[in-house]
Amino acid sequence: MPTRREPYEVVSVSLPRDLVKRANALIPKTQRSRVIANILTTFLDSIARKQLERQYEAYYSQRTAREAQEERDLLSEWELSDDEAWAILDKEEASGRRKAG
């Protein structure tokens, strides 16, 4: 059964001549589109992550001191729970009831 191919669209992009020469010298012609798509995807993903980071910063900067303290208290409770969970897993591994990794 043939796999479904992603839809592609042909676009024209103007790049500096020296950049095109360097890319042509380093990237085989059969892989250029894939390499460019991967680089652009990585770049756009990093922009999306940065935007999300800014949204979190804005949200957390608008919280009251009480809300921040409540969250710190909750996180400290979870930290204890994590320590307890790791202790249980370590105990199970030591007794041979759970395989490591």
pLDDT tens-digit readout, 31-77: 998 999 999 999 999 999 999 999 999 998 999 999 999 998 998 88
CA distance 23 to 44: 20
Residues in contact with 34: Cβ distance below 8 Å, sequence separation at least 6, in sequence order: none
Tell me: do 47 and 77 sit in the same domain. no
- 36 and 58: one domain? yes
Q: Is position 3 within any domain?
A: no
Cα–Cα distance, 76 to 80 (Å, whole number): 7
Mark whether 55 and 70 lie in a shared domain.
Answer: no
Is 5 among the domain residues?
A: no
On whether residue 80 sits in a domain, the answer given is: yes
In the predicted model, is pLDDT for residue 29 greater than 60? yes
- Residue 53: domain span: 15-62
Indicate the number of domains in the chain: 2
Arithmetic mean of pLDDT, 69-88? 86
Token reading at 38 = 């991967």
